[in-house]
Structure 1
Amino acid sequence: MTDAATLLPSNASTLERAVAAADAHISAIPAPVREVWNPYTCPAALLPWLAYAYGVEEWDEAWSDNVKRDVIAQSLQIKRIKATYGAVQRAVVAMGLPARVQEWFQQSPAGQPYTFRLAIESDQIGFDGPQLARVRSVVERYKNTRSHLAGIDITIRSTGGPRPSSVALTGTESRVSDGTPAYADGISALDLLIDGAVNGYSETGQAVEQLRDIVAGMPAKLTIPTDL
């Protein structure tokens, strides 16, 4: 029980005294009214109720918190210019979709009178059916009566790009031989094999032996007379 002052009579019941004791500390409970009514400081769990209080006409729980806050913050300004192309564009932009309204006389070639097109730039994920239906609903809600949506042009923007990279590798270089004779520089002695196939391998081997003996008997440095 609390010692706080009370206006209860002396014959108050136990329940009445318990309620009075609880209410005695009600002023200690924080009541951030200003923060709750601000779309950018309101707790995320209370955003649907704030949207209702602001009269938001299009709402999707699948939106991110940032999109929800932008939609609420823009709602009053959009209502002030409702039934204009600016309201249509701002309403779609508030949903997180970069959009641009193009009236019939701004198109090349010019479109049908009193029509307009909506150009939307999306990321590389693209659009699905429910998103497109929601955009059409927003456009119909904020456009004027005499104007009609002729079409929606969606541009898909890719944020990807080349990514340079490098890889360091270590290993062992190996040589595989099929048994073919080779010279000292590694070139296969195919000319000897062809000669052996034509003239006989025994004769070719003897010629190679003779050539080796001739080369071995040659002097290391050959002097050529200059008076020749």
Structure 2
Amino acid sequence: MADAALLPPPLAQDERSQAIALLASRLQGIDLTPVLVYLIDTVNASALPVLGEQFHVMGFEGWLFADTDLARRRLLKRAIELHRYKGTRWALNQVLVTLGLDGRIREWFEYGGDPFRFQVEIDLVSRGIDEDAYNALLALIDEYKNVRSHLDALRLYLTNRSPIPTLASVVLAGEITTVLPYELTHLEQHSPLWLGAALWGVETAIVFPYQE
């Protein structure tokens, strides 16, 4: 046997040693890639949710916004670092970057707000957002922010970038309405005594659209 040739001469004719050599040869040919689950870039996609549970990044901790395998792998690779610095501005900013969200964080002293408050501005370039996703984003921010800090505002900006020229037109219109009092056009009086009185007035009412 070819495997027996690897054995020392005293064991080459031993059937038990030959069986062990054959088993060792088969074990060397086994592909170990599937069991190397911590090689995040190459592990099978079916293992990603299990790793997400293990690294504690499911749900509002990022998984809800990691909508592709690539985004999930990025999140898993950053999971330990994000948890280590959880509660800092850096961690909140990094989780937005990891999930592909173009966000900016402004603390209270940067916009003249109340102490220990902050604002988050996010540009939505390649995705939309519904009410559920908006609430999930609020929960994500609450998960990674400092406990003493409070979110003042979450501003979302929808940006459309396209090689096709964008044409726009604006129409500004107004209307002036004049309301005059009722005026008699014909008056007759049959009496030897003629009395007359008149009252004339003008009132202008301007109604503008509501503005905050």
- Compute the TM-score of the two structures, normalised by the length of structure 1: 0.55
Distance 1:41 1:24, change over 3 A: closer
Map of 2:209 onto structure 1: none
> Structure 1 regions of 5+ residues with no counterpart?
8-20, 164-228
Aligned residues of 2:124 and 2:159 also touching (Cα < 8 A): yes
Verify: 1:77 aligned to 2:78, yes or no. no
Say whether residues 1:103 and 2:136 are aligned partners. no
Q: 1:139 aligns with which of 118, 141, 144?
A: 141
**For 1:146-161, what aligned pairs fall within 5 Å after superposition?**
146-161=148-163
Contact persistence 2:105–2:118 (CA under 8 A): yes
Residue 23 of structure 1, CA deviation: 10
Amino acid at match of 1:158: N
The Cα shift of 1:148 comes to 0.5
User: What pairs up with 1:61-210 in 2 under 5 angstroms?
Assistant: 63-107=67-111, 110-123=112-125, 125-162=127-164
How many angstroms apart in 2 are the aligned matches of 1:141 and 1:131?
15
Q: Aligned partners of 1:61, 1:46: CA distance in 2, in Å? A: 18
Distance in 2 (alpha carbons) for counterparts of 1:61 and 1:103: 24
Q: What's the offset of the Cα at 1:152?
A: 0.8
CA contact (8 A) 1:92 1:138 kept: no
Tell me which residue corresponds to 1:50. Answer: 51
Amino acid corresponding to residue 89 of structure 1 in structure 2: N
| 1:72 aligned partner, one-letter code | L
Q: 1:45-87: CA deviations, max 9, x gaps?
A: 2111222232324323971111111111111111111111111
Gaps of 5+ in 2: 5-14, 166-212
Select the structure that is richer in helix.
1
Report the structure number with the largest CA radius of gyration: 1
Partner-residue secondary structure (3-state), 2:119: strand
Whether the aligned pair in 1 keeps the contact of 2:74 and 2:98 (CA below 8 Å) is: yes
2:37 — aligned with what?
36
Aligned length: 146
Q: Give the residue type in structure 1 aligned to 2:86.
A: K
Higher RCO (CA 8 Å, separation ≥ 6 residues): 2
Relative to 1, partners in 2 of residues 1:83 and 1:60: Cα closer, same or farther, differing over 3 Å?
same
Task: Give the whole-Å Cα distance in 1 for the aligned partners of 2:56 and 2:126.
Answer: 32
RMSD, matched Cα: 2.9
